[in-house]
Each structure stands twice: as C-alpha cells, then as structure tokens.
Amino acid sequence: MLKVVRDPLAALSQISATETRTTMHLEDTLYPLLRLYEAAPQPVKTLAGRAYRAIPNSIRQGAAYERFRREATESESWDAVTTRRYQIASIRESLLAAQRAPFYAKRFEEAAEKAGSFESLEQLAAYPMLTKQDIILNRDQMVSGDASQRLAMTTGGSSGVPVSFFLHKGISRPKEQAYLEATWSRAGYRPGDRVAVIRGGVTSSRVDGRISTFDATRNWLVLSSYHLTPQRLPEYVAELNRFRPQHLHAYPSAALMLMQMGVRLHFKLTALLCGSEKLSKETQRQLEDHFEAPVMHWYGHSERAVLAAQRSGSSVLHFWPAYGFVEFGEPDSDGNREIIATSFHNHVMPLIRYRTGDLWSADGHVIGRDYEFLISRTGRRISLTAMNMHDDLFDGLQAVQFHQQQPGEVECYLQTTPSWSRDRETIIHAGLKRKLGDDFTLTLRVVDDIEKTSAGKHRWLVTTLKP
C-alpha cells in the first residue's frame, strides 16, 4: 500500500486560510462559562458534561484540531529540509500578522525589517526581542485582526509577574490540545482514557471539604492539590481505586507527595503525565519505580509559543518543530541559556522572539525553581504552582510575591501598574483565599517595588519555613 505523504506547507496554508475568517470551536465558545460549570452541583456538572461529550469531536474541538493532530504526528518524521521550510513559512506568517499591530509595526520599522522578505531562519536575529514588560505595558497595541477572534488569558507562571495576552480563538487551544495528546500518546494515552488530575483544581476552600470532583466533559477525576495530608491520604487512595484511572495527570510535586506518603494503588497505571514544574532525572526514576509506570514530562507555557516533551525511553526534552520556533540566549556561568520563543499560528497576537525567562540546560532540561509551598495552620502544603492564575485576577499588577514567616499567615505583595484600581483588592483577596482555604489568614500589601534576587530575578515566594 502506498503511503500518502502530505505537504506540510499545504497544511499550513489550510490553517492560514481558516484563520482569515472567524474560526470557532465549541470549547472556545463555552470558555467564558467555565466558572459557572465548575461552581455547579456535581449532578448538574455530570449531566451537562455527558451531554457535551456526546457532541461529535469535530464540533467540540473544531476543524483546526484534526489538522494539528495530523501535523504533530507527521512532523516527528520530517527531515531537516522539510522542517526548515515549514518554520520559515510559519515565522513569515507570524511576522506579517505582527506587522499589522501598531507596536510591532513601529519596532520593525526601527529595525529596518520587512516581514514579507523573510526567507531564512537566520534573518530572525535581526528582529528585536520581546519581554514580559513589553507585553504588560503594550498588550492592546500588539493585537491585530477582528476582536471577536481574541481569547483573553493571563498567567503569573512561576515568576509571579502577571502577563495578560490574547490567544487565537479556534486555533490556539485546539492546537495545544492536539499537541498535548500527541505528547501523551508516547506514554500510551488515547483520547477518552480515564484520567485522574492533581493540578491545582479547587474542590473546596474548607480544610475539611471534599477532595474530588468529576469532570464528565473529559471523563476526568479532579483531585484537590490543597488537601494532600497524611490524615486525608486514605480518601485519595479510595477515590483513585474506585475510579481506576489509566493515567495520573499531576504536578511533579503532587506526584512526589503521594510517593513520599507511601500511596499504593490496587491497579496498574498506564502512565504518569507530569508538566508545569521541573522534574529531575532522579525524581522521575523514583516516581517510575514507585508507581511502576512510565512518566511523560513536558515543558510549555500559557502563552503557547513553544512546546517541548520527552520521547519514549529518554528523559531529554525535544521541542516540537511545527509548534513554534525556539532560540537560546547566551549561556550564563553555569552554561544555562534562556528560552526565546516565536509563536506560530496565533495571528491575533503573535509573540516574536519572546524572552520566556525560563532556562535551558546543556543536557536538554528546563531549569526550574525548587518546589515551593505555603504552609497552612493545619500543616497542609500548597504548591506555589497551584497559585498561578489563568484568569484576569492579577490584571493591573506588575508583579506578585508571597511572604510567609508563620504557618497559616501569608502576606501577598502587589506591585501595581498605572491601570490599577484599589477596588480590585477585594476581588484578589477572595480569589486567593478560594485556593488557600480557611486555615490561612491572608493580608494584601500594595508596594512600590518587589524584592528580587542578587541576580535581578523575581522571587515568587519569600519564606522562613521549611516544607
């Protein structure tokens, strides 16, 4: 049988043609209602979720999802010439889209660069780099196209510097889903598999509240990241053994806590899916030995500019060549280099040579912070990763930093921007308390500047407590 080989540039032109009109998939349409769904009683969520899952995938995910799914699979076998052609064409389209935005148009003119003449990857170095501060101060001048195609997002990441940006409706999120599924498939995942999730989902703000909820839209059991204590461990074990997930999708720190508390399951996991935090080779080996299942680790970010993942049998991360373009900054004293990303396919707000602030090691790993925790009065450990906000809670802030000297007592320092309004303090307090729970006392403090390290890096947490 002859194998049909698609031209990746033809696929790219299909995606581009789709982007020229208002592209939508049902998940993006319903995204503004996510909070209402999460707050609904479990019977309502189960009924609504099952009805949603009954809708054909082509409608739920949209047309772009299937194209990106094929592209992810096929790109793994591209040769260097094919990869380079695709990346040049994708960067050119991102540059052309960026050039329509006032912020980029001025920058490109100052650099004497014209997007339409981009013909080699080496030319990208002539374009100026983009910082988080650039986005914070100029976001609305960085967008182009129809406002109806924009999906607003915010991330604080592990840096504590809130960045608000726009994704491309019907493109960015289905693309991310397609590539994540392709990543997870390397460890045996298949769409529709049962998954248990421990990744910052709030099941209750009470210290004695419920530890789980069922997301019927995905067939996922969502377990609390905030109630992992030895006293409540039997509840987690019981829930996992009842649901019998094929995969555990968890922050590495959450999986490590389960391992350290000696969790033993009555069934065999197919894989552990671990992202959003660093994962050392030694920790990965320990998790695989304890749970008797492979770990799939990946690196990405909310801005969705680049994505890297392990391959089967290797702990090294490899960047997906058709997801986005990656460059690396100059090495520091330890040989680590900053990841610099140029996004593909997001034509409402392209990121051109974006300085992520993340560091890449010489042996193919992302250098992350040590696992950081806030400690409650009752001894709960709250991962700082779980305190990241993907909504507009931190809008109007330049930086956020947590301080803790006593269990259960937390101060949150807020460095504001000119758009800040004092009435947002009540909203921020309520949003953070929802995640922290009722065994914390939270104080907000507006400051002129936030403490950094001697190297000028922002600190997400300042604490005297040992986790």
Q: Which amino acid is at 206?
A: R
Higher pLDDT, 156 or 320: 320
22-52 pLDDT, tens digit each? 445 677 777 777 777 777 888 888 888 888 8
Taking residues 130-158, what's their average pLDDT? 88
pLDDT band at 2 (very low <50, low <70, confident <90, very high): very low
Rounded Cα distance between 99 and 205, Å, is 45
Asked whether residue 5 carries a pLDDT value surpassing 70, the answer given is: no
Asked whether residue 214 carries a pLDDT value surpassing 60, the answer given is: yes
% of the chain exceeding 70 in pLDDT: 93
Taking residues 384-393, what's their average pLDDT? 79
Taking residues 95-106, what's their average pLDDT? 96
Position 1 scores a pLDDT of: 38
Question: Of the candidates 170, 117, 192, 105, which has an alpha carbon nearest to the alpha carbon of residue 142?
Answer: 105
390: Cβ contacts below 8 Å, ≥ 6 apart? 153, 154, 155, 302
φ, ψ for residue 407 (rounded to 5)?
A: -55, 135
Domain 373-463 adopts which CATH fold?
Answer: GMP Synthetase; Chain A, domain 3 (3.30.300)
Mean pLDDT computed over every residue of the chain: 89
| The dihedral sign for the CA sequence 51, 55, 57, 58 | negative
| The dihedral sign for the CA sequence 324, 219, 66, 70 | positive
- Residue 297, SS3 per DSSP: strand
φ, ψ for residue 166 (rounded to 5)?
A: -120, 135
Q: Which amino acid is at 276?
A: S
Higher pLDDT, 28 or 179: 179
Count other Cβ atoms within 10 Å, centred on residue 99: 19
Lowest mean pLDDT among 16-25, 63-72, 358-367, 437-446: 16-25
Question: Of the candidates 119, 185, 151, 138, which has an alpha carbon nearest to the alpha carbon of residue 22?
Answer: 151
pLDDT band at 388 (very low <50, low <70, confident <90, very high): confident
CA distances to 23, 158, 359, 458, 462 from 450, in Å: 41, 15, 22, 8, 11
Residue 68 tokens read as 């990106």
Q: Are 127 and 352 in contact (CB under 8 A)?
A: yes
Q: Are 65 and 300 in contact (CB under 8 A)?
A: no
Phi-psi region for residue 178, left (φ > 0), alpha (ψ -120 to 50) or beta? alpha
Taking residues 347-362, what's their average pLDDT? 95
Position 158 scores a pLDDT of: 57
DSSP states of 368-399 as a string? -PPP-EEE-TT--EEEGGGG---SSTTTTEEE
Position 17 scores a pLDDT of: 46
Rounded Cα distance between 295 and 310, Å, is 9
Lowest mean pLDDT among 3-12, 295-304, 341-350, 352-361: 3-12
> What residues does 250 pair with on adjacent strands?
198, 274
pTM of the full structure: 0.89
pLDDT band at 279 (very low <50, low <70, confident <90, very high): very high
| The dihedral sign for the CA sequence 329, 385, 136, 27 | positive
Q: Which amino acid is at 226?
A: Y
117: Cβ contacts below 8 Å, ≥ 6 apart? none
